[in-house]
A and B are shown apart, each in its own frame.
Chain A
Amino acid sequence: MVGIVTYGSYIPIYRIKTAEIARMWGDKPEHPEKGLGLFAKSVPAYDEDAATIAVEALRNALRRKNIPGDKIGAIFVGSESHPYAVKPTASLIAEVLGAYRAHAADLEFACKAGTAAMQNVYAMVKAGMIDYGVAIGTDTSQGQPGDALDYSASAGGTAYIIGKDEVIAEINHTVSFVTDTPDFWRREGQRYPSHGGRFTGEPAYFKHIMSTAKMLMEEAGTKPEDYDYVVFHQPNGKFPYRVGKRLGFKEEQIKPGLISPYIGNTYSGGTPTGLSTVLDIAKPEDRIIAVSFGSGAGSDAFDITVTDEMENFNRDAAPKVWDMINRAKYIDYATYLKFRRMIVEVD
């Protein structure tokens, strides 16, 4: 059995309300709430980045179950906001873990690099190359001030340790789908990404998630009603409901794993953190389907069954996702600009 051995998430304490962003840019305060289903987004503190979020998420995973560094054979970190353009985040994670005999690399695939990391580790464990591996999705995503992404681009991350002993959630199947779709991109040296506006919906998010979810259920021989929970990539508070309904899922399957209305889009942290929110409440034998989406574009899907081992697992040893969502300090737009280093440089 190969699957999740432990998991942990981290969401920065600071939040900005979408109504405050609307006030700044002359939109109606209810516009982001009604139009996008977004009420607030998480903001990294001045001294936080994708690497510090990754370390905090991983430490929360280790608080629940400690896996010694010398047993960890792989570290993959998915992000589109790695602190360095050249110098891996994964090597910093290796140092924190004391995991020196490890395959380590950084991944980037817009919002699906975290699930790509999970697939890589899953494959290496399944192949018998390693006993345990770490997969992290983490981001401090960038949105150009005044752009639609200003309402959603947020910060957070989740770490999974995948192995074959004492598995709390078995990964039964995983499939992926990819096409060359330019819905969202950032050129080298550019500070903020560009996107195709409405083009990011139908040919990008919906096409890839629906294709991948259908492929996965075909391979697993399952139907939407076989699942207790479904987690989708959550760029806003509306797309997951819309794609879920088109696939035949019900609101009660979607809602428990949907946190973007309260913390925004954590990009590579998105689907992994939605899954983490579900694992915080899941019981043995619950079945979960998780489908990520990364612009550019592709999706990774997972069919997961929670095992009896969850009963012995110390979930309370680390904060749950909702503990961190509720632990919020609200800031104004000017403080947000300062924390995100968007004020013209002062020395």
Chain B
Amino acid sequence: MVVPRFWRERRSRYSLIGTRCPVCGTVYFPPRSVCPKCGRKSVGKMEEVQLSGKGKVYSYTIVHQNVIGYKYQKPYVMAIIETPEGPKLTGQIVDVEPEKVHIGMPVHAVFRRIAEDGKAGIIQYGYKFIPDEE
């Protein structure tokens, strides 16, 4: 990811900041500047909302492939997390044995390194998830 794109998205990636449409109440993450349901009625009115970081596993997969930058972490769990606010977030589940992950498992967001742009590039930080309790 190029530096400016990561930099633009840092607030939402660090602190799970999305947006809410004041017309229909739908919450979006990543943030949207226009609600796709309400269209022009939402323009200029979208409100920032911070997600709680809580959620449940909606679906997941265990990655065994040698994905560049993730070889040291495999096998690792990529999941879709259903949040109480509405949006479904994609993220890694860490600090857990992959075989213990199951659909419906309660998780919460933690702050981790997501990727590194080689040895000399920037370190991208953001959210991953860990189980609430095993």
Contact = CB atoms under 8 A, between A and B. Distances in A.
Given A98-B15, A341-B72, A347-B68, A45 B94 contact: yes
Contact of A92 (B95, B112, B125): B125
Contact of A95 (B10, B71, B123): B10
Interface residues of A, number: 24
A250 to B, nearest CB: 37
A329 B14 contact: no
A322 interface: no
Interface in A43-57: 45-49, 51-52, 55-56
B130 to A, nearest CB: 8
Nearest to A92: B125
Given A45-B94, A95-B11, A98-B15, A84 B123 contact: yes
B6 interface: no
B113 A48 contact: yes
Nearest to A84: B123
Interface in B78-134: 94-95, 110-114, 123, 125, 128
A96 B14 contact: yes
Nearest to B122: A87
Given A47-B128, A92-B125, A341-B72, A55 B11 contact: no
Given A84-B123, A96-B15, A55 B111 contact: yes
Contact of A49 (B72, B94, B113): B113
Nearest to A343: B72
B73 interface: yes
Contacts, number: 49
Nearest to A346: B71
A13 to B, nearest CB: 5
B16 to A, nearest CB: 11
A46 B111 contact: no
Nearest to B92: A47
B101 to A, nearest CB: 15
A83 interface: yes
A47 B68 contact: no
A56 B110 CA distance: 7
A84 B14 CA distance: 18
B37 to A, nearest CB: 29
B72 A52 contact: no
Contacts of A59: 111
A307 B95 CA distance: 37
A47 B72 CA distance: 10
B43 to A, nearest CB: 25
Given A52-B113, A59-B111, A96-B14, A47 B73 contact: yes
A83 B123 contact: yes
Nearest to A345: B119
Contacts of B71: 346-347
A45 B112 CA distance: 9
Nearest to A69: B15
Interface of B: 10-11, 14-15, 68, 71-73, 94-95, 110-114, 123, 125, 128
Interface of A: 13-14, 45-49, 51-52, 55-56, 59, 83-84, 92, 95-96, 98, 329, 338-339, 341, 346-347
13 contacts: A13-B95, A45-B95, A46-B72, A47-B112, A47-B114, A52-B125, A59-B111, A84-B123, A96-B15, A98-B15, A329-B95, A346-B72, A347-B68
